[in-house]
Amino acid sequence: MRLHRILPAALIALTVLCTSCRPPSESGGSTPSPPKITGGTDTASGQPQTPRVYYYAAGFHGHPYFLDTHLGFRYAAQKFGCEIKTVGPQGWDADAQKEALEQVIPKKPDGIITIMWGPSGKPAVKKAMEAGIPVIVIEAMVPDHGGMAFIGLDNYACGEDTAKELIRIAREKDLAKGVAEDVAGKRGKLVASGNWGASNTDAKFQGVRDYLEKNSQWEIVGKIDDKAVTADAIKAAKSMFNTYKDIDAIVGLDASSGTGIGIAIEDLNLDASKYTIVVHDREEPVLEFIEKGIIDSTVINKTGLCAYMAIQMLEAYNDARVGLATVPIADDNKAAGVQPFPEFIYMGTEVITKDNVQHFMAKNIPQYQ
């Protein structure tokens, strides 16, 4: 049985935490050494006198999608009085990301946060864990990633949520056209746009396809590869509209999909009302296309919360006063091979439509330094 959601984020209070029942031999990880006490506590501020240092070792830092991740880290740094350093490539480069992660290990930070779109970083994660550095994976993972925990979407469930949103919007449009209630929203031809080969995108697509097969007569007639790069997404979307003349709907499964689809519709002077368009993530152009009525809705991860909770959990692990590392799961968690972390923390999705889009505009959200 697939568990789509484990430990909703609102329940993580750091006083009640659960752990995976899989031993390290199955999960691919090892248990880092108990936390080191860093400095003392300033009684006036309540913050450690010597800030703990964490590294966010990943890639794609220059992509608009990750603006909210960096915002979440800045918010966490302010709240916890820690220092968060970012390393890795600005674009998509798995080798450069792996190298950045490797180079962090000798620095012996208090923790590392990384993303795993593929398996290439697994040896570096294992090496960090064996060196006593706790690692948390966010956003995308692979089986047996070797870190302490994964914080992010259940990407398969996100795909299911996307399919449900597609059916909901298509139903509203069909009913407005006088289509019978028993078939409204449940049939049509669909193309999916995504960054194929990325672990999270592929899982989302599987969720979309499975849900539609079980609950509708929608036919997925094609897939286009937008590479999660805006220029490629625009080209792919234009090619899609020229190739699939009779489609009824489009789903975009990565952060650049919606921008590419929206720009293609404007450049080709197409009537967006002919299509049901559900995309992912919250690039500013996507929100603007929702405002204009070109895109119907976007399904998003609570990206800033992923970043914040990664730091929150590492702080709880490293702070002997909180005592996450020594929760009495065994008489000695390290000796017993116990990881005192939840194995998965799934965020769940939110949906942005024309009704609530203003609340998600960057200009309306506080910024933190």
**Which of 265, 280, 295 is where one domain is finished?**
295
Is residue 59 assigned to a domain?
A: yes
Rounded-to-integer distance, Cα 112 and Cα 73, Å? 12
Residue 66's CATH number: 3.40.50.2300
136 and 71, same domain (yes or no): yes
Tokens matching residue 228: 């999660």
Please write the tens of the pLDDT for every residue from 330-367: 999 989 988 898 999 999 999 999 999 999 999 999 88
Q: What is the dihedral of CA 228, 140, 100, 67, to 10 degrees?
A: 60
| Model confidence pLDDT, tens digit, residues 94-115 | 888 889 999 999 999 999 999 9
Question: Which sign, positive or negative, has the C-alpha torsion 171, 175, 177, 179?
Answer: positive
For residue range 254-309, list pLDDT tens digits in order: 999 999 999 999 999 999 999 999 999 999 999 999 999 999 999 999 999 999 99
**pLDDT single digits (tens) 1-23:** 333 333 433 333 333 333 233 33
Same domain? 174 vs 256: yes
User: Is 363 part of a structural domain of the chain?
Assistant: no
d(CA 169, CA 188): 13
Establish if 266 belongs to a structural domain. yes
Q: Is residue 364 part of a domain?
A: no
Q: Are residues 92 and 146 in the same domain?
A: yes
Average pLDDT estimate for 79-93: 91
- Structure-model confidence comparison of residues 92 and 217, the more confident one: 217
Q: 91 and 226 share a domain? A: no
Number of domains in the chain: 2
In a domain, 141, yes or no: yes
Residue 170 lies in domain: 155-295
Q: Is residue 44 part of a domain?
A: yes
Residues 211 and 264 in one domain: yes
With CA atoms as reference, report the closest residue to 189 among 240, 241, 246: 246
Confidence label for 47 from pLDDT (cuts 50, 70 and 90): low
Domain identity same for 76 and 139: yes
For the entire predicted model, the pTM comes to 0.82
- Same structural domain for residues 133 and 165? no
pLDDT for 16 equals: 31
Same domain, 282 and 343: no
Q: Which comes out higher in pLDDT, residue 328 or 93? A: 328
Given pLDDT bands bounded at 50, 70 and 90, which one contains residue 32? Answer: low
106 and 172 part of one domain: no
What is the structure's pLDDT at 243?
97
Residue 86 lies in a domain: yes
Residue 92 has what pLDDT? 76
Separation of alpha carbons 365 and 287, rounded Å: 14
C-alpha–C-alpha distance, residues 72 and 78, integer Å: 10
Helix/strand/coil (H/E/C) assignment for every residue in 27-88: HCCCCCCCCCCCCCECCCCCCECCCCEEEEECCCCCCHHHHHHHHHHHHHHHHHCCEEEEEC
Domain end (from 295, 328, 358): 295
164 lies in the same domain as 279: yes
